[in-house]
Amino acid sequence: MNRTVVNCAVRLSKGTLGLISKPRHIPPAGPSSSIISLPRCSHSTNVRVRSYLQYIKRKVRPNHGAPPYDHVCQIGDPVLRSQAAAVDPETITGPEVQGVIGALLRVMRKLQCVGLSAPQIGVPLRIVALEYTEKMMTESRASVSPASTEARSISVQPLRIFINPSVRVLDGRTVLFQEGCESISGFSAAVPRYLSVEVSGLNEKAEPVKWQAVGWPARIIQHEMDHLDGLLYVDRMDSKTFINVEWETHNE
C-alpha cells in the first residue's frame, strides 16, 4: 500500500527453496531485442525509449533481473497474479527466507509504505510485513487531516511480520476508504474492507503469533493478504472512485 493511503506490497533468487518463479526474460542481445517482448497493444513511441533505458539498467546493475528485487513489481507482472506458496516452517530461520524478509523490510522502508508482501518484490511466498512509525504518522499530518486520521483509525503500528498467515473476520461490517498500492503506482480507489479481523501465522522467528486488528490496520492486513492470493485492490474497488493521484497537476 502507499504510505498514508493504505499500503503496498514484496521476489527470491532463482532456485531459492524451489518455489520461485522462473527468472524474468533478459534480452540476450542488444537493446532492440528487448523491444520484441513489449506488449503489442502499445502505440506510444515512449515505449521504445523506456525499453532501452530498462536494458541499460540491467547492464549497469547485473542483479536487476533476480528477485528479491529492490523495487516493487507493477501490475501486469504475473507474480502479482499468482497464488503464493506456503513457506516451510523449518526454513524460516534459514538464510534464504531471512534474506527475503530483509529485502521486504528494506523496500518497505525505502518507499515508506505501511505494508508489503513478498510477491511484490518478486517472491511468490506467503510473507507479509506491516509497519507505521511515529515518524510516518508525523509526516502524514501534513496531508491527512486529524478528523480523517481519527475517522480511519490511523495509528502507529510496530513492525509485524506474518508468514503463512490466515485471517478470521471478527466484525463483518465493511468500511469504504481510499487505498493505494505500490504495485499500482500513481493511482488509488475506494475499497470496502472488513472492520475487524484476526490474523494468525508465524513470525520471522518461526514462532506462532496472533493479532487482532480494527479499522485501518485491519484494512492493511486484508490488502496484503490479498497479494498472497494474486488479488489486487482493483479487483475489489468501487471503480468510479479510481483516480490518478496526480490528476490535478495535469491541469496546471
Which are the catalytic amino acids? Answer: 224
Nearer to Zn ion, 202 or 220 (CB): 220
Residues that bind Zn ion (CB under 5 A): 8-9, 181
Spatial CA neighbour of 96 closest among 57, 72, 127: 127
* Least distance in angstroms from the C-beta of 2 to Zn ion: 8
Nearer to Zn ion, 96 or 154 (CB): 154
Grid cell at residue 179: 487505498
* Rounded distance between C-alpha atoms, residue 22 and residue 16, angstroms: 11
Q: Which residue is nearest to Zn ion (CB)?
A: 181
How many other β-carbons are positioned within 10 Å of the β-carbon of residue 94?
A: 12
* Least distance in angstroms from the C-beta of 40 to Zn ion: 27
* Rounded distance between C-alpha atoms, residue 62 and residue 197, angstroms: 42
* Least distance in angstroms from the C-beta of 237 to Zn ion: 12
Nearer to Zn ion, 9 or 191 (CB): 9
* Ordered DSSP codes for 197-217: EEEEEE-TTS-EEEEEEESHH
* Least distance in angstroms from the C-beta of 91 to Zn ion: 25
* Rounded distance between C-alpha atoms, residue 84 and residue 64, angstroms: 22
* Rounded distance between C-alpha atoms, residue 228 and residue 232, angstroms: 10
Nearer to Zn ion, 13 or 188 (CB): 188
Round to the nearest angstrom and report the end-to-end CA distance of the chain.
Answer: 27
